[in-house]
Each structure stands twice: as structure tokens, then as C-alpha cells.
């Protein structure tokens, strides 16, 4: 590894390869994890933030590789950097956590803060090996066989998890019943009772005054529409009379203009 790549923008650059026989060397970039808010799962003073992690790296291999700097408490893999806690599932069989596929980022949490200094002072020519003779990482057909076997769920374990879920549900229903909530019927419906707000107490005089004002406004509105309707009828009648007079004049003109007079 070139000495110019020993440090890039505050990140320590260290080589990593799959095993001792691998010729290609990959680069890992790491530095101390820094966040604005403290996290119990990723304490800033004891967590190493690692970038450019190859797909073949596992939590076990990372624990073994970084143990040379200090005792590793836990290793978390994420698809992208995040300050939040690692994803967990209460029900591992029915709702398992999705495995991170491809290149990723890692958070290595040590027991002591001194391990961070040791990791940051690693020599520039350091090359870590992911798979060793003592701790081999399966590849090829064996790897796919192992992943397939992991997808097969043990019946007894699944039955125990389902039983635990049902017990938690029954306990939740009993707590709601004790709190006065309605239980769902056979079809799963829950009757919801409306809770009407109690009317506020007002003085009798103020209440009567509001009623009188409301009645007066309504009466004014009725009178306005009645007057409007009367006015429309009067205008329409005036137009009819005007048209009648015009028709009478037109008929008189037509009679006077007739040339043929039989009598």
C-alpha cells in the first residue's frame, strides 16, 4: 500500500484481503464515530466507524480482525451511515431483520476507549485477512447451502414464538378490558361509543339574547327574499304589458297596410 493513502480526510486507510492467497487488496477507511447526540448502542468514545466494507465481511470476521486493537463488544452493519441504533426484531422467525447485502458500512464498538487510539495508529502497510485457516468464511456452493439452511425454520421454535405472541395478545386484551375498553366481537369489530362534550353553562340572559339575535337575522333574511320575489314579479308583469302594447300597434299597422279588402 502506498504511504500516500495512509490517511484520507481524517480516515485511516488500511488494506484488507479475503485470505492469505488473495492477490487483490481492498481498502478499509475508518475513524472514530462522532455524533451530536450520544447513543447507548454506539458510544462515540468507544465506536469505530468503518467505510467501504466488502460484501464478504461478516460480524464474526470483523470481531476477530479488530480484536488486535482491543476487546470488541459488538459489530453493526448498515447499508449507509446512520446514528440510530441497529435494526432489531422482537419476533426473529416471523419478522426477521433483513440482512445487508453488498458493500456496506460498519460500526465496531469496543469495551475500552483506548482501542480507538490503537486502531487509528495502525501502520500504513497493515493488511487484514477476513478468512483464515482457523476461521474460514464459506464461499460458493457451501455458502449458498448455509444460507438456504438458515431459511428453514425449526417447527418447535416457530411454535414457541407463536405461543408467546398469542399470550402477549391475550394479556393486552385483558388490560384493555380492565381499563374499560370494549372487546372485539367474533368478526373482529369493536363498538365505539361517542363521547359528547358537556355543554358549557351560560347565563340565561346571554342565552336569550343570542336566540333573539339569531331569530332577528333569520326574519330579516326571509323579508329580504320576499321583497326580492315581489319585485321580480312586478318587473315581469310590466314587461308583459309593454309587449302586449307593442303587439297591438304591430297588428294595427299590418291591418292598415293590407291592399286586398274583400268588404
Q: Is 87 found in the same domain as 212? A: no
* pLDDT of 37: 74
C-alpha–C-alpha distance, residues 61 and 51, integer Å: 16
Q: Is 211 found in the same domain as 135? A: no
Q: Is 246 found in the same domain as 140? A: no
* pLDDT of 212: 81
Q: Which of 112, 127, 151 is the last residue of a domain?
A: 151
Q: Is 138 found in the same domain as 34? A: yes
Q: pLDDT tens digits for the chain (263 residues)?
A: 444 467 788 899 999 999 989 988 999 999 999 887 777 888 989 999 999 999 999 999 999 999 999 999 999 999 999 887 777 888 888 888 888 889 999 999 999 999 999 999 998 889 999 998 888 888 889 888 888 888 888 889 889 999 999 999 899 888 877 776 666 677 777 766 665 555 555 566 777 788 888 877 776 665 566 667 788 888 889 999 999 999 998 888 888 887 666 65
Q: Is 216 found in the same domain as 131? A: no
Q: Which of 108, 128, 151 is the last residue of a domain?
A: 151
Query: How is 164-211 classified by DSSP, letter by letter?
Result: HHHHHHHHHHHHHHHTTPPPP-TTS--PPPP-PPPPPP--HHHHHHHH
113 close to 69: Cβ distance less than 8 angstroms: no
Contacts of 97 (CB under 8 A, 6+ apart): 87, 88, 89
185 in a structural domain: no
Domain of 44: which CATH number?
Answer: 3.30.70.330
Which residue range(s) make up the domain with 56?
Answer: 3-151
67 in a structural domain: yes
Q: Which of 82, 117, 151 is the last residue of a domain?
A: 151
Question: Distances from the Cα of 252 to the Cαs of 184, 240, 246, 258, in angstroms?
Answer: 88, 19, 10, 10
62 in a structural domain: yes
83 in a structural domain: yes
* pLDDT of 245: 92
Q: Is 108 found in the same domain as 20? A: yes
218 in a structural domain: yes
C-alpha–C-alpha distance, residues 57 and 102, integer Å: 10
Q: Is 57 found in the same domain as 129? A: yes
CA quadruple 115, 119, 123, 124: dihedral, nearest 10:
180
pTM of the model: 0.59
CB atoms within 10 A of CB 128: 19
How many helices (DSSP H) and strands (DSSP E) are in the chain? 5, 7
Name the domain count of the chain.
Answer: 2
227 in a structural domain: yes
* pLDDT of 3: 44
Amino acid at each position: 500500500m502506498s504511504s500516500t493513502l495512509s490517511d484520507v480526510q481524517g480516515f485511516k486507510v488500511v488494506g484488507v484481503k479475503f485470505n492469505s492467497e488473495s492477490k487483490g487488496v481492498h481498502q478499509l477507511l475508518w475513524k472514530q464515530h462522532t455524533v451530536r447526540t450520544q447513543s447507548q448502542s454506539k458510544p462515540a468514545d468507544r465506536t469505530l466507524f468503518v467505510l467501504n466494507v466488502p460484501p464478504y465481511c461478516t460480524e464474526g470476521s470483523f470481531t476477530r480482525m479488530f480484536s488486535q486493537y482491543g476487546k470488541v463488544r459488538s459489530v453493526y452493519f448498515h447499508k449507509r451511515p446512520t446514528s440510530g441504533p441497529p435494526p432489531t426484531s422482537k419476533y426473529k422467525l416471523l419478522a426477521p431483520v433483513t440482512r445487508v447485502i453488498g458493500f456496506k458500512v460498519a460500526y465496531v464498538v469496543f469495551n475500552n476507549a483506548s482501542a480507538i487510539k490503537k486502531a487509528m495508529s495502525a501502520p500504513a502497510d497493515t493488511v487484514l485477512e477476513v478468512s483464515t485457516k482457523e476461521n474460514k468464511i464459506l464461499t460458493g456452493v457451501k455458502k449458498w447451502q448455509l444460507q438456504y439452511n438458515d431459511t428453514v425454520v425449526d417447527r418447535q421454535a416457530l411454535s414457541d414464538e407463536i405461543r408467546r405472541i398469542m399470550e402477549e395478545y391475550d394479556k393486552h386484551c385483558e388490560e384493555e378490558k380492565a381499563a374499560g375498553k370494549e372487546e372485539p366481537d367474533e368478526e373482529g369489530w369493536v363498538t365505539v361509543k361517542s363521547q359528547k362534550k358537556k355543554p358549557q353553562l351560560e347565563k340565561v340572559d346571554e342565552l336569550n339574547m343570542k336566540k333573539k339575535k339569531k331569530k332577528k337575522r333569520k326574519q330579516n333574511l326571509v323579508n329580504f327574499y320576499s321583497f326580492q320575489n315581489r319585485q321580480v314579479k312586478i318587473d315581469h308583469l310590466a314587461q308583459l304589458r309593454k309587449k302586449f302594447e307593442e303587439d297591438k300597434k304591430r297588428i294595427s299597422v299590418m291591418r292598415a297596410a293590407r291592399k286586398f279588402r274583400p268588404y
